[in-house]
Structure 1
Amino acid sequence: MTNGKIEKVAVIGAGVMGAGIAAQVANAGVPVLLLDIVPAGAAEGGDRSAIARTAIERLKKTDPAPLMSEKAARLIEPGNIDDDLARIGECDWIVEAVIERLDIKQALYAKIEAARRPDAAVSSNTSTIPLHDLVAGLPETFRLNFLITHFFNPPRYMRLLEVVAGADTDPAQAARVSRFADERLGKSIVRCKDSPGFIANRLGVYWIQAGVVEAIDLGLAIEDADAVMGRPFGIPKTGVFGLADLVGLDLMPHINASLAKSLPPADAFHALNRDLPLIGRMIAEGYTGRKGKGGFYRLNTANGGRVKESIDLATGAYRPSARADTETLKEAGRDLRALFNAPGPVGEYAWRVMGRTLAYAAGLVPEAADDIVAIDDAMRLGYNWKEGPFALIDRVGAAWLVERLKAEGATVPPLLEQIGDRKFYRVENGRLQFFGLDGDYHDVVRPEGVILLEDIRRRSQPVLKNGAASLWDIGDGVACFEITTRGNSLDDQVLDALDRTIKLVARDYKALVIYNEGRHFSVGANLGLALFAANIAAWGEIEKLVATGQKVYGALKHAPFPVVGAPSGMALGGGCELLLHSDAVQAHAETYAGLVECGVGLVPAWGGCKELLVRWSAPGKLPHGPMPAPAKVFEMVSTATVSKSAAEARDMLILREGDRVTMNRDRLLADAKARALELVEGYTPPERVEIVLPGPSGKLAMMMAAQGFHKRGIATDHDLVVADGLADVLSGGDADPTVPAAEKDVLRLERETFMRLARTPGTLARIEHMLLTGKPLRN
């Protein structure tokens, strides 16, 4: 550890969680030692580290991928506890992720204490064993450096990290690990008390158990139950039963038993924790969820079919899945009080599960957490709820909730009594505040180095705004362009706002960041508008939109100020082209970028082909000559390749040398702003370049490759039509290959080819199919 930095990590335990934690450490570019036991019967001279080595190989094949790149895999070194434990002395942080048995963990801790450096941190990934039990009887030197770091599965994708410090834990050590997990591993840290189940699982397990038990008691179909527990409350559409299938039914009895053992006798969980013979039978027969033969839901592939089936909670038999009865949900809309009051089993189920879950959450402060923000953050980050329980209580009304609980003779948590008819959250002087146990409101404080656009919105007005985008002043002479359409799709209003932004920033600001806090940076052009225009033969309007996009994107690239694209999630089609026209990219690690237009029968036409050709033609990227760059771009674009991470986007040259990656989503805007300010001094716009293209012979070579795929059944008939158009653009068409092509020439080919393909029935069918199903049509 140099200057308090964590530069190497050891993970002990190469199971699913341990290997996943090791993968995320490697994703951060940090070397990691992965250790497990020596396999039973391993002979001297055999592979005594086979368990860890096999786990690393499994990481490379798992989907969704735990690793962000092949390079990351090379940073994980396998070993075994018997032969290699002494090597933890090289490590700054040792993570224990072995079986949930106190005796095994404590025996391992004694060995770790003998081998680790005195300043190295040690943590457990336990989700069930209290910290004070883990360190009981261990020396003070160990207790000072020990904490719990509870990752959620899969560690790459789940942002929550629950951190528990003990009575003897050195606060500086806890802060050091938390800072590393935040900045390097991309985790949002929620500090928990040393209480059973910590926060997310304490509340989440109660909610799941309530959801299952109450559906059985009310005789509700699981489709209806999941519909109630999903969209109305801002919970993923998996609801309760779909989530149980995802997590694994076989884990439910173990987690419930652990909580029941450690919770105080008066805890409300005990009333729900009863034996469920149906689940026991399903587990015994291998119906453990998605990892087994199926769970509450399954896909029946008998006789070559693919029929989605659901279990009948009353009979235990599978039946074809039915559409949920959503009439009551439609009538209630977003009015949760109306849903709770709705007559019939749907309203009763909503109340029995969520009404009581909200009350249970209110009882966890201060037992499990110091404040309501920690509870809400844990459920948002750990269970993907859109809003935490206290934000949901604000929608219902705390006073109403108390009245309903009292009418049923239920226990009312003191916090609910205390708040009365006030709200748990409020905005005061442009600042978000939460209700504290002292009866006062306190500012929600972001970690140092975090800037959120949602906070800027509360305290300021946009500099520029229309129905599709806004421009915000984020301080220090930097403006932020935010797309606000559904999926942050791109249309004429977005382009108009961006055009006006370029002029305004040139006059009043130093730099521009393109960023938003939606799920995705941009899913690309609005296909619905394009299809509508095509159906009424408004070809002039479509061509105008293409030309406008080329003009605005070109103005963005050559603006007299630096532009930094800051993507997270999907950056597809026109969204990817925005990044290609930025001076620099500060990407969230989970950025999935690519030019996907061929999937809907079109070609990139806002300069995407041109920009990729320029990048792959740069010296040193590919062998010299006019053909390698077009061939590489043809391969990527014709197959609609999308990066599975920012690291892969770098391999595709969507990110370049000098572009940077932010691991923590909450730090993306601050990092992008800092990058933009770095570029200000001495900034000059990029010069326009010429590109050497191979001409007709190059197109012929590309089409021969496409026809080969067609003969093998990989490419469809319309794929060949689209490939022909793409090859025309990338080869330079009929141009003389001895004369370098100007950027405007490639843009013209993009535009002409796009319009030609847009008129074909095959392309119109692809667009319509994508809009209806969200999936590409193979025609």
Structure 2
Amino acid sequence: MSKRIIKKIAVLGSGVMGSRIACHFAGIGVQVILLDIVPTEAKESTNKLLRNKLVNDSLQAAIKSNPSPVYTKDAVKRIATGNFDDDLKEIGTCDWIIEVVVERLDIKRALYEKVEGFRKAGTLVTSNTSGIPIHLLSEGRSEDFKKNFCGTHFFNPPRYLRLLEIIPTPDTDPSVVDFLMNYGDLYLGKTTVLAKDTPAFIANRIGVYGMMAIFGLIEKLGLSIDEVEALTGPVIGRPKSATFRTADVVGIDTLVKVAKGVYDSCPNDEQRNVFQIPAWLNKVVENNWLGDKTGQGFFKKVKGNSGEKEIFTLDLKTLEYQPRQKAKFASLEAAKPIEDLRQRLKMLVSSQDKAGEFYRHFHYGLFSYISNRIPEISDEVYRIDDAMKAGFGWEIGAFESWDTLGVEKTVQAMKAAGYPVATWVDEMLAAGNKTFYKVENGNTLSYDPASRSYKSIPGSKDFIILENYKDKTVWKNGSTNIYDIGDGVLGVQWNTKMNSIGGDVLAGISKAIEMAEKNYKGVVIANEGANFSAGANVGMIFMFAIEQEYDELDFAIRAFQNTMMRCRYSSVPVVVAPHGLALGGACEMSLHSDKVCAAAETYTGLVELGVGLIPGGGGTKEFVLRASDEMHEDEPETITLKNRFLTIATAKVATSAFEAYNLGIYRKGLDEVVVNQNRRVLEAKKSVIEFYDSGYSMPAQRKDIRVLGRSALGALYSGIHGMWRANYATEHDVTVAKKLAYVMCGGDLSEQTLVSEQYLLDLEREAFLSLCGEKKTLERIQSVLKGGKPVRN
């Protein structure tokens, strides 16, 4: 068949999922028409606004939702709205039609019949259903419709949850499946997982099993909701929403519906009874305590004695809400200092307190269940892990966890505890294969039960997983590893708390550049933590400042500045590949690289003002340099500088990599956004090679930066004073902002002057040092270290 190009899509149904799917497509540049029914009260009206009220209200609700469903606000302009009665003919101009209407087979089939009247041959038609067998939906449709039809199950919210399950029917053309797998990965930024047309598909089948199994363990082990939340959150690599908070967000009625669906539709599921709804859960649904959508579920916000809102937890025995109780398990306390998730998991599962007992029962049950789902819901182990990581936010998949705990050892313990495993696992072990995954030459192989051998994961050559190059380590220190990632390129990765940047990390980056200048083409800086980096190690700054070790502090700031300048001025290209949080010093690293290959979900900014400091690793200097380059004759010179100043002074953070262009952090035409974050390291490596092959040469340090001196300084001081008078800034904010303004204007110069980068770096460092001596700055840093947020003083 001819190559498909998706220029325009139609989304049929504007509910929570439909409107947000429309927003996500618009966010990647696709034209969208969003359609829904005409409200009953407008059926006889000719007023288009009234007839489109439902769809327009739904879209506006999506746009106003937090977090935003689009990468930039401008994306919404690509969405047109309409209704099924007046505008269904518009689908004839579309390349892909996505149905997201109410979960009723008769309604979907009736809509498809209308779609056939307007759809052009060859157009994709997919359904986002999660509760109706996909093959039933296309019954009675034309051969062309069936050939181009399948399930595309997005997870909510579509922009942020990266799973897209592709569910073909027996009639789906294999080329359609291939196209959707590739499009979802490359353009939508998804982990696309091929799923079978089985109840709840892959992620919900395993995820809901896990939640229902936990509900059973609550009664068995006498645990409270607060205890379960502490046990099943980030400590084992799961989201902060853990178990019960996740249910509140998703909707407790939705959870119950999926569980009942599996129970009713899967009579041969060996753990079918796990999906039976406990009496207390039925009571919660009867009370209409469905979670966030009804204002209360397993948690409820109430007014405390002080008048402020507090979160209360449901007591499952009395079904009354009580103040939250901090969980107390010795093993959890012992696990806190262990940064490495896999080591932490081993420790927790082997613990001898009630927490350890919970973890053993939970993991043994989970491992037993997933082993028996092959080949029922998937032929491959990696698809199950991919689905759980992308759909439920697990840091490591279930089979990966099993590998971590030792497959053979765990199977023995499982059988002793009454948890059987599928025959294929016993056969795998008997043949001498001890793990579900292994790495060869940087490539991850997955055990294939059907062929009883290891196979390369399809598409994995498009990804570089730095951890897979451990055997290619060419240098390391306490926090940082430098890997040879092939083709003459070095990769730098570090592992610290929140991936903060301290002395070891700076030393590792400098060492990588030094090594590359001798024997390699260039350097990629990236890591695979939950976030790229929360910035410089403020704990170290606080320690030096509180002990008045100003010489040490001066040395540390110089080291940071020098390393950033090494990223800019080296004889080899340096490319940074951030994702997640890339704040403060991590943003400065991007500012000084030859190129940034950022994941779309990168949240970056110079946030130092929040802790009473200014960017001290070259960030202030770089914004002045860029402002100088952006100044032009037909606008007041202070406008560009003022905009740059406000971005730092208000600690603005880009809410996506695309927004970072608007803040002047990423450079249009040079820096690149990679929608699928799994691809960013490979893209960064390609960029290094492209720079090298095109004859890369080290740029010259700048000595022609125009600073505006006293004239601009007065204007900025006036603006700062205005913010203070309007109560937008505290007195200490004013102190810090004035220091920032002084540096950005080049000091108290009588006239415009051309200065060097080093001149600005020296001003920046002096201002940073002086602010470290301010009591209120230290109070802010201390509050961040203790509670994660700066105090407003």
TM score, norm. by length of structure 1: 0.94
Greater CA drift, 408-417 or 124-133:
408-417
Q: Tell me what 2:32 maps to.
A: 32
Contact kept in structure 1, 2:535 and 2:586, CA below 8 Å: yes
Structure 1 pair 335–694 and aligned structure 2 pair: CA distance change class (3 A): closer
1:410: Cα distance to partner? 5.5
| Inter-partner Cα distance in structure 2 for 1:474 and 1:269 | 44
- 1:287-339 CA distance string (max 9 Å, x none): 32233323212232255133332111100111111111212445789586886
Q: Is the 8 A contact 1:216 1:314 kept in 2?
A: no
Where does residue 15 of structure 2 map in the other structure? Answer: 15
Q: Residues of 1 paired with 2:188 and 2:203: CA distance?
A: 19
- Aligned equivalent of 1:702: 716
Q: Which moved more, 1:312-321 or 1:694-703?
A: 694-703
Letter in 1 for 2:656: S
**How many Å apart are 1:386 and its aligned residue?**
2.0
- Equivalent in the alignment of 1:168: 171
How far is the alpha carbon of 1:84 from its aligned partner? Answer: 1.5
Q: CA deviation at 1:341?
A: 7.4
Paired residue for 2:532, among 521, 541, 562?
521
Change (3 A) 1:397 1:588: closer
**Distance in 1 between residues matched to 2:30 and 2:4, nearest whole Å:** 15
The unaligned stretches of length 5 or more in structure 2 are: none
The alignment status of 1:461 with 2:472, answered yes or no, reads yes
Contact 1:692 1:739 in 2 (8 A): yes
Query: Which of 230, 235, 255 pairs up with 2:233?
Result: 230
- Cα 1:91–1:480 change in 2 (3 A) is same
Inter-partner Cα distance in structure 2 for 1:622 and 1:30: 37
Match of 2:444 among 432, 443, 451: 432
Aligned to 2:789: 775
Residue aligning to 2:86: 83
**How far off its partner does 1:401 sit?**
4.8
Moved more, 485-494 or 267-276: 267-276
Identical amino acids, percent of aligned pairs: 37
Are 1:194 and 2:197 matched, yes or no? yes
Shift of 1:505: 1.8
The corresponding residue for 1:366 is: 375
Report the counterpart of residue 276 of structure 2 in structure 1.
274
Q: Is the 8 A contact 1:12 1:34 kept in 2?
A: yes
2:714 maps to 1:714 = no
Q: Would you say the 8 A contact 1:757–1:763 is kept in 2?
A: yes
Mapped partners of 1:402, 1:514: distance in 2: 39
The alignment of Structure 1 onto Structure 2 pairs a total of residues equal to 777
Q: Which range moves more in the overlay, 699-708 or 527-536? A: 699-708
> Which consecutive unaligned segments of at least 5 residues does structure 1 have?
none
* Structure 1 residues 78-477: aligned runs within 5 Å: 78-231=81-234, 233-263=236-266, 265-302=267-304, 304-329=307-332, 346-403=355-412, 406-407=415-416, 412-420=421-429, 422-427=433-438, 429-430=440-441, 431-438=443-450, 440-447=452-459, 450-454=462-466, 456-458=468-470, 460-477=471-488
From 720, 744, 747, the counterpart of 1:733: 747
Shift of 1:180: 1.3
Deviating more after overlay: 268-277 vs 119-128 = 268-277
One of 542, 548, 553 as aligned partner of 2:559: 548
Question: Counterpart in 1 of 2:677?
Answer: 665
Contact 1:216 1:313 in 2 (8 A): no
Alpha-carbon shift at residue 619 of structure 1 (Å): 4.0
Cα displacement (A) at 1:744: 2.2
Query: Counterpart of 2:753 in 1: which secondary structure?
Result: coil
Deviations along 1:58-78, whole A, 9 cap, x unmatched?
Answer: 232110111110121111111
- CA displacement, residues 174-203 of structure 1 (integer Å, 9 cap, x when unaligned): 111221111110001111111111111011
Judged with a 3 Å threshold, the aligned counterparts in structure 2 of structure 1 residues 324 and 409 are, in CA distance, closer, same or farther, namely: closer
Distance 1:213 1:617, change over 3 A: same
TM-score (norm 2): 0.93
1:339–1:778 Cα change, 3 Å = closer
Q: Does 683-692 or 627-636 show the bigger shift?
A: 683-692
Distance 1:611 1:446, change over 3 A: farther
Q: Which moved more, 1:171-180 or 1:40-49?
A: 40-49
Distance 1:341 1:516 in 2: 29
Matches within 5 A, 1:612-691: 612-619=623-630, 624-658=635-669, 659-680=671-692, 681-687=694-700, 688-691=702-705
Larger mean Cα displacement after TM superposition, 708-717 or 90-99: 708-717
1:500-579 matches, cutoff 5 A = 500-579=511-590
CA contact (8 A) 2:491 2:523 kept: yes
User: Structure 1 residues 218 and 522 mapped into 2: Cα distance closer, same or farther (>3 Å)?
Assistant: closer
Aligned-residue CA RMSD in angstroms? 2.5
Q: Distance in 2 between matches of 1:697 and 1:272?
A: 72
Contact 1:229 1:350 in 2 (8 A): no
* Distance in 1 (alpha carbons) for counterparts of 2:58 and 2:563: 49
Q: How many Å separate the matches in 1 of 2:791 and 2:427?
A: 57
Contact 1:586 1:661 in 2 (8 A): yes
Q: Offset at 1:242?
A: 2.0
Q: Report the 3-state secondary structure (helix = DSSP H, G, I; strand = E; otherwise coil) of the residue aligned with 1:463.
A: strand
